[in-house]
Structure 1
Amino acid sequence: MPNLIASTRVPTYVPTYFLSATARVTIDGKLHYKPVESSDIGHVIAPESNPARREFFSHVQFYEMMCTDRLEVDQEYHYHGREKTRARFGDARVTDLAEDAMVRVLGNTEYCKGFLRRKAAYEASAAEKPKKGSPKLRRISLSDACLDWLLPDLEAEIAGQKRGGKVTKSVARPSNRHFRRIFKRFYEGGYDPMSLAARTGSRVRISYHHPEDVVIWDEFSRKYAHHLKPTMAKLLKELAAEIVKLNLDRAEKGLRLHKVPGRKVFEGMIKSLNAFWVCAQREGEEAARKKYNITFTGLQVERPGEMVQMDEWTVDLIQWLGWTGMLARLSEDEIKAIRKVRLRVVVAIDIATRCILAMRFTPSAATEQAVIDSLEMMATDKARLARLCGATSLWPYHLTPECIVTDNGGPFTGIMVRAVMTALGCDYMNPPAGLPQMRGAIESLFHTFATQFMDWFEGRTFGDIFEKGDYKAHERVSLAIDQLNLLFVQAIVDIYHHQPHSGLAGETPHNAWMRLSRQYGVMPPPPRSVRRHIFGTTVERDITDQGVCFWGIHYQSKELQQIRLQAKRKVMVRVDRFSLDAVSVWTGTGWLVVKALEAIPEDLSIWEWVGARREVTVENAGSTELNLSTMLQAVNRLRLAGEAATARANLATQPIDAEKLNKLQLQYFDGVVLRDDLERRDPTLAPLVFAADPLHHGIEGVDDDLPADENQPAIITIKAAKLPAAIKPATDISF
């Protein structure tokens, strides 16, 4: 097993991953285990094929397998009802549905969760002694009397979460009867939103039983939901006796005789009843409370990742230049020119530890893609990124969040953003508009940025980037964004995470993370292949006898050719911009991982591949035949020069969407034939060398041809102040 701890250069920190009781741990894609117990040194797990056997894996081994994409953890695989959803939809996620289906599933999920939140709030208030003057909550149930007022309330609540920006589609309020049906599916599907999706293929299973018989069977099956707790066997005997009695009368009238159901059929009818309702009738409503309490009435947060807040912040350059003392150097015309410049940053903060999980800059208003990129950053190890930015401390915080609280702005409530959160397996919550105190940590963090870090930024922001060459206006804007993001990351990693925090009783965010992650563990992020399924960029490709081709690289497998034989030539392909050794192909029911036919290294990114193609084109103009060895040599030169590391950071680059990928295909790889001339089938790339100058622009080719934004005026060249010899950060950060 490779020493991943050394290769990732994070020898002082190994995460402790949390494993739920319902989790399935899969190693190497074929060995399936169930958790037995966890400790501060590792996990004991049992093979599903031999539950009596026990195997121990240390936290270091778990981390190594996670880094090498050998480990996958599905926290709710064995949770009640999930097997039904898997049987219907396989590996499909909400992000794989058509847009209309996605809207319907997410909308109905909000109604179901709203019902559960209201019911839990009522039960909590009923269990407590009522306070004088406090309003009494109304009883919550699935009866018409309750749903008649509750569903309109939920509709208004959901509609009230939307504000300004892009108009998003929404689902119509369900009728009482339809809501009971979808809630039954939601509960019996283990609270999985995919349980609310429509079946593909045949939707109706034909019943071979006579409708008159089924009516009687259904009447007796519902008697199972009674506080006297009758057994299934007793009810079946009572049903048989009742049918004998009814048949005596029907025989005299010459009517068809009723049939008695078999034991399995009758028990199946009972098991198909609304389990929530059955448990409430037999055991009481308190016992019927759902296992995962979907309520967020306060911020009693204990675990890292239990709640993460995300928001967008606008950077006003005039204010920043005023704080740094540079504004006095500008003329009136220069101030007028720069006044309209705005930068936005999307930030995600963990509530329990106040650690920053993601930062993403954008030169315009935040888009859904910028939010999705931030979600991906949460689930990615950021040790390499911290080193690139010149930070001397670790940035080891990565996980799958349990719940994400966002602003009500368009980018955060978009269908694709909600679908990605759902596909990750995390819940999401939008506080009512006008109540920023509900997301106080993120608001206070922005205030901290704007006040306490200004002395640190003096002499660094918007400095010598203007002396680096004759750039056009939009290029100077792009460089300014890159520099600001790099400096922000450095300030966050080296200063903010290691200062006493009043919100943590004087503990630093980093120490809080280390303590709480050891105590509770963190939800492991999805493996690389699953991240590609969720976050990958989707393009359409034809299947040929060589598989599918992307940027000159062919991806081939037997399973892919079987899809081709089904007369399905065009397929959807998802590409991981950080690794081109494999792609994911949509089969109609799930994603198929297809490896490259050529010997493509595992860690090869799209920036490096484009940069190598540009370099080879300069040397061999007009040639459309490329040797893989020549391309990889060019990649290694980019890595050793420090250019690849800067480009791979992907700090503030424009979103890499399908349109961008297709444009680069036409520009660099149209008609290209890649010849695999390598003798070794497992080539190793040179290690990433981090540029001494972290403001280096990186590899040209992917982001250097962005169109200028007419609304963004040219940045005014400002001579940087001298960097202070010593920087004394504030002694406490409060929010």
Structure 2
Amino acid sequence: MTIRMNFDRVTRYYINSIPYFFQDADDQHAFFRRDDGSAAVERLSWATLQDIMKRPDWNYEKLPQSVEEAKSRPQPHICLSALSRTNQTLVCNRWFFVCGLTRRYSEGGLTLRPDDVGQHYPHIKAYAAEEWKTFHEIYGAKYFSSNGNSFGFDASPASILRWYRAVKKAGGRMDALIDKRGRASKLDINQDSYLFIQQQLREFLLNQRHTGREVVDNTINALRRENERREAAMLPLLQTRGKTALWEWLKRFDRLEVDAGREGSAIAKRRYLGVGKTNRATRPGQTFQVDEWEIDARTIIMNGPIREGLDQKTIDRLPRGRRWLYVVLDVATRYIVGLLVASSQNSASAIRALEMSTRDKSDLAAAAGAESIWHGFPFEGVESDTGSAFRAGATTRAVNETCAAYSYPTVGEPQFRGTIERPFLTFTYRVMPYLPGQTFANPKERGDYPTEETAVLTDDQLALIFIRYVVDVYHNTPNAGLFRETPAKALERLSGTVGLPPQLPRSMRRRAFGISLERKVTSKGITVLGVAYNSRELQKLRRRPENTKVTLHLEPNDIGMISVWTGREWLEVECSVENFHGVKLDEWIAVGRILRRRYVGQAALAADTIWDALQAMRSRANEAMRIMGVLPQQATAEDIARLEKELYLGLSVVENEIPELDALDLADDGIGYVIGDPDAGQGGALPGDAPSTSDDEEVDLDDPEEDTDWWQEGEDL
């Protein structure tokens, strides 16, 4: 299946470092116009675009328009589908002349007068012909009734000016060029008479609750008295209408307005209460809704995932508590794109849930044993309530950094957030009965249910249950909000028609969702958890008169690069050591604990040693380790500061030492060098050399002398 991308026309996309603007798309290709002065239109297949978005140089830049302006921007050719073939050709040709005049006028030297337009007519028509050619390349003969191969349409300067002014007055809409002659309509009553009758009929909306018949009779009597007064004053008489017409006008009043006036606004509000009546999203990623929910179950609170071998007495002594669940849902498809278990309500958890929603999570689904794929894609807008986690400045900054809009519905009106509130009720009825340690709203509902005695689940087990339910059950269950279509099918259908938003560039993702830290630039650059990041631009920053601390953002899913804010611009700084791209923060912390104890006497660790340990740990990682990103124990900025003081104090990562080969003798056969005494055989070793571990030897992570309870020590990570 071809997965389309939903590009917009107010974003500058960089493909191979060349700026482009999106023009149009069909089932197989997307058309982009170069923004380098050539105005050339290029055609790219959807498969090619998928590969382009995986490259490190993929980037895009939102222009100074908001997302709401981008979504409300009229599509110029959408009005053509309702016209006849002849009118389609007529409107298109007029549009090309308007584009040609606009382009010539922007170059200067042209005034908007018929005689001056006539002098520049050859240039205007040439520009119009270029627009015609580009339009034909994209749409073919879809909107043309003629079979010509060139632009043969002519127009007078006065007509071109009239079309130009009509389009400008309409805000740039193409439908202003449609010939509407012969369709004019007029009211069958003058304005004064209409306003007078409406004023009398509005008596029906008063809280005196007059009957409709009484209001109609009073209106007819008021018209008669007013005409008698006007006749005496020699004024024009008002037009009258019979009872049937007045009854029809009375029925046109909005029912909400009628009930609010006659019975009160409170009664009308309850009667016409809106549930989930938010702005209907029509494409994936157009609107995400995010909310938090305190899980109706008590779980075991631990510093890390549960391990085998803990005795029951130890488990019984561990504290119990309730966790919070952060859920991100796509409004158009009802597809849950983000799910996170948190220890409390905080902005860091909300940001992690939003970050999770923008990427594919098939690895998490596989760790939970799910059979379906868990998709993710960027968002154009986010809606949430006014909770402290969502109103925090860090959450707002993260959304704004992705060039998305953030909006909040009316306070105290949860029915307007029914789209995101409804899944929590589904969890209550479909998931919670299967969980031990369930809680209830009051003692009457709980009865004699032993909540504390049955609380045996840990955070990782709780997360695995919710992930499995969401991916395999919720996404494949018919949804009433989708007219009995499943969220998975809705996403598949819309991704093949309107497409998904393009993936976020890596730098944008890091700036938006990365952990914010402050560091001072040194001669080694910036060091985070023993890993150094350095560049020429960073050293220039160090040489400033005041070398104050700078703000940086570290992505938990890839610590191979950081984003540094200099006060004026962003710097992307790579790690000074190779093989750190793709390493997760949790992996590096876990490996650091093991290697720090094993090499306690060393101030520096070789990159190969770290890489072998990472590979060994990944090969033995269980489900709980793979889902660490959705658990409350993921590292925060405070945890990083504490670990640098306790675990990584004085520790640094260095590249492997490269042997000096210039001082060695070349072997007799010309291949390789002679190391040590050639007569010493295999036992010869250079004096002073310390025994070293082979690069191919895997680091043993199961040292029996290690403390197997290291993960329980300290605070939550």
> Same fold judged by TM-score > 0.5?
yes
Equivalent residues of 2:397, 2:512 under 8 A apart: no
Maintained 8 Å contact 2:359/2:378: no
Question: How far does residue 493 in structure 1 lie from its aligned partner after superposition?
Answer: 0.3
2 CA distance for matches of 1:339 and 1:600? 40
User: Secondary structure of the residue that 1:491 maps to in structure 2?
Assistant: helix
Deviation of 1:454 after TM superposition, in Å, equals: 4.8
SS at match of 1:311: strand
> How much has 1:499 moved relative to structure 2?
1.6
Q: Distance in 2 between matches of 1:439 and 1:319?
A: 28
**Counterpart in 2 of 1:465?**
none
> Match of 1:61?
48
Q: 2:506 aligns with which of 506, 519, 528?
A: 528
Could you say which residue in structure 2 is the equivalent of 1:347?
327
Query: What is the percentage of aligned positions where both structures have the same residue?
Result: 26
- Partners of 1:483 and 1:285 in 2: how far apart? 62
Question: Partners of 2:515 and 2:459 in 1: how far apart?
Answer: 23
Change in CA separation of 1:406 and 1:338 when aligned onto 2, cut-off 3 Å: farther
Which residue is 2:352 aligned to?
373
For residue 670 of structure 1, what is the aligned residue in structure 2? 649
Counterpart secondary structure, 2:485: coil
| 1:36–1:667 CA distance, 2 compared to 1 (3 A) | same
User: Does residue 613 of the first structure (1) align with residue 592 of the second (2)?
Assistant: yes
Which of the residues 543, 556, 565 maps onto 1:565?
Answer: 543
Cα distance between partner residues in 2 of 1:384 and 1:521: 23
Query: 1:538, 1:657 within 8 Å by CA — same for their partners in 2?
Result: no
Q: Does 1:307 align with 2:287?
A: yes
Q: For the Cα contact (< 8 Å) 2:477–2:486, is it kept in 1?
A: yes
Q: Which residue of 2 aligns with 1:388?
A: 367
1:21 — aligned with what? 9
Written as runs of structure 1 = structure 2, the 5 A alignment for 1:590-669 is 590-643=569-622, 646-647=625-626, 649-654=628-633, 656-669=635-648
Offset of 1:640 from its aligned partner?
0.5
Cα distance, 1:298 vs structure 2? 4.2
| AA at the equivalent of 2:462 | L
Report if the CA contact (8 A) 1:363-1:478 is conserved. no
Aligned length: 458
For residues 412 and 634 of structure 1, what CA distance do their matches in structure 2 show? 38
Gap runs ≥5 in structure 2: 73-109, 114-164, 174-275, 301-316, 440-451, 660-694, 698-707
What do the CA deviations read for 1:598-651 (whole angstroms, capped 9, x no partner)?
113311112111222222223223322211111111111110001598256411
Q: Give the corresponding residue for 2:714.
A: 705
2:415 equivalent to 1:446: no
Runs of at least 4 residues off by over 6 Å: 231-234, 281-286, 337-340, 459-462, 476-479, 699-703
Residue type matched to 1:57 in 2? L
Deviation, 1:546, is 2.4
CA gap 1:550/1:438 in 2 versus in 1, 3 angstroms: same
Query: In 1, Cα distance between the equivalents of 2:294 and 2:359?
Result: 25
Deviation at 1:395, TM superposition (A): 0.6
* One-letter identity of the residue aligned with 1:442: I
Quickly say closer, same or farther: Cα 1:666–1:359, change in 2 above 3 A.
same
From 393, 397, 406, give the equivalent of 1:419: 397
1:360 aligns with 2:369: no
SS where residue 431 of structure 1 aligns?
coil
C-alpha distance in structure 2 between counterparts of 1:529 and 1:704, whole Å: 34
The answer to whether structure 1 residue 513 and structure 2 residue 465 are counterparts is no
**1:411-448 deviations in Å (ceiling 9; x for gaps):** 22222222222222222222222211111122211111
| Residue 685 to residue 443, structure 1, CA distance change in 2 (3 Å) | farther
State whether residues 65 and 71 of structure 1, in contact with CA within 8 Å, keep that contact through their aligned partners in structure 2: yes
Alpha-carbon deviation of 1:356?
Answer: 0.1
Distance in 2 between residues matched to 1:232 and 1:477, nearest whole Å: 80
1:37 to 1:24, Cα distance in 2 relative to 1, 3 A: same
Closer, same or farther: CA 351–554 of 1 in aligned 2, 3 Å: same
SS state of the match for residue 630, structure 2? coil
Q: Aligned-pair RMSD on alpha carbons?
A: 4.4
Question: Which residue of 2 is the match for residue 254 of structure 1?
Answer: none
Report the CA distance shift for 1:572/1:459 in structure 2 as closer, same or farther (over 3 A).
closer
Residue 41 (structure 1) aligns with: 28
* Per-residue deviation, 1:673: 3.1
C-alpha distance 346-638 of structure 1, shift in aligned 2 (>3 A): same
Change (3 A) 1:618 1:481: same
2:520 to 524, 533, 542: 542
User: Which of these residues, 492, 506, 529, is aligned with residue 470 of structure 2?
Assistant: 492
5 Å-filtered alignment, 1:186-265, equals none
Give SS of 2:463's match: helix
Equivalent residues in 2 for 1:387-406, closer than 5 Å: 387-396=366-375, 398-406=376-384
Provide the C-alpha distance between the structure 2 equivalents of 1:544 and 1:482, rounded to a whole number of angstroms. Answer: 40
Q: Give the Å deviation of 1:16.
A: 2.3
**CA offset digits 1:36-77 (Å, max 9, x no partner):** 332223423343326454444332332333334332233x43
Shift of 1:703: 8.4
**Superposed displacement of residue 340, structure 1:** 8.4
> Does the C-alpha gap of structure 1 residues 618 and 571 become closer, same or farther in structure 2, counting only changes over 3 Å?
same
- Cα distance 1:233–1:420, how it changes in 2: closer, same or farther (>3 A)? same
Partner amino acid, structure 2, of 1:344: W
Following superposition, the deviation at residue 285 of structure 1 comes to: 8.6
Contact kept? 1:408, 1:430, Cα under 8 Å: yes
3-state DSSP of counterpart to 1:341:
strand
Q: Which amino acid aligns with 2:501?
A: M
On the 8 A contact 1:388/1:649 being kept in 2, the answer is no
How far apart are 1:477 and its partner, in Å? Answer: 8.8
* Matched letter for residue 52 of structure 2: M
CA distance in 1, matches of 2:60, 2:712: 35
Change (3 A) 1:421 1:363: same
Retained in 1: the 8 A contact 2:367–2:627? Answer: no
Query: Paired residue for 1:724?
Result: none
SS in 2 for 1:448: helix
| Distance in 2 of aligned mates of 1:666 and 1:602 | 24
Question: Distance in 1 between the 2:611 and 2:299 partners?
Answer: 46
CA contact (8 A) 1:552 1:672 kept: yes
- SS of residue in 1 equivalent to 2:645: helix
Does the C-alpha gap of structure 1 residues 478 and 385 become closer, same or farther in structure 2, counting only changes over 3 Å?
A: farther
Separation in 2 of the partners of 1:512 and 1:702?
Answer: 42
SS of the residue 2:635 aligns to: coil
Give the distance between the partners of 1:370 and 1:547, measured in 2 at CA. 30
CA distance in 2, matches of 1:599, 1:644: 28
CA contact 2:299–2:459 (8 Å) conserved in 1: no
Q: TM-score, normalised by structure 1?
A: 0.55
Q: In structure 2, how many angstroms separate the alpha carbons of the residues matched to 1:685 and 1:70?
A: 34
Cα offset, 1:378, TM superposition: 1.4
Amino acid at match of 2:388: G
Give the aligned partner of residue 121 of structure 1: none
Mapped to 1, the partners of 2:415 and 2:318 lie a distance apart of 32
1:303-360 C-alpha deviation (Å, 9 max, x unpaired): 112222211111122799xxxxxxxxxxxxxxxx999832211111111111001111
The alpha-carbon distance between structure 1 residues 32 and 319, as it changes in their structure 2 partners (threshold 3 A), is: closer
Partners of 1:382 and 1:46 in 2: CA distance: 33
Q: Indicate if the aligned counterparts of 1:318 and 1:338 stay in contact, CA closer than 8 A.
A: no
Aligned-partner Cα distance in 1 for 2:696–2:282: 42
Kept in 1, the 8 Å contact 2:558–2:583? The answer is yes
Higher-Rg structure is: 2
